[in-house]
Structure 1
Amino acid sequence: MQALLMGIFFILFKKRRYTFMNKTFILKLFLNYDCDF
C-alpha cells in the first residue's frame, strides 16, 4: 500500500499540471492513510 502511495506521489510530482492546493489535498490524504496504516 505504501509503495502504491509513493508511486502516486511520483506521478503527481512528475506532472506539473496539478495546482498547489491539489498537492496539499493529496498530501493530507497520504497523511490520513499513513495514520490509518
Structure 2
Amino acid sequence: HGIVPGPETEARIRGCRDSEQLDTWIGKATANEWQGL
C-alpha cells in the first residue's frame, strides 16, 4: 500500500490520544485511501 496521509490527517493522527478512535480513523483512511476524513 502506497497510502500517504495529507498534512491535516497526519496532524490529527499525531495529536490523537484515543487509541480506539485512532484505530477507527486509520481503518477508515486505509479503506478509503485517506479520502473523506
The normalised TM-score by structure 1 is 0.51
The normalised TM-score by structure 2 is 0.51
> Which consecutive residues of structure 2, in runs of 5 or more, have no partner in the other structure?
none
Structure 1 runs, 4 residues or longer, greater than 6 Å off:
none
Query: If you compute each CA radius of gyration, which structure gives the higher value, 1 or 2?
Result: 1
Per the alignment, residue 27 of structure 1 pairs with 26
One-letter identity of the residue aligned with 1:31: T
Q: Percent identity?
A: 0
In terms of fraction of residues, the more helix-rich structure is 1
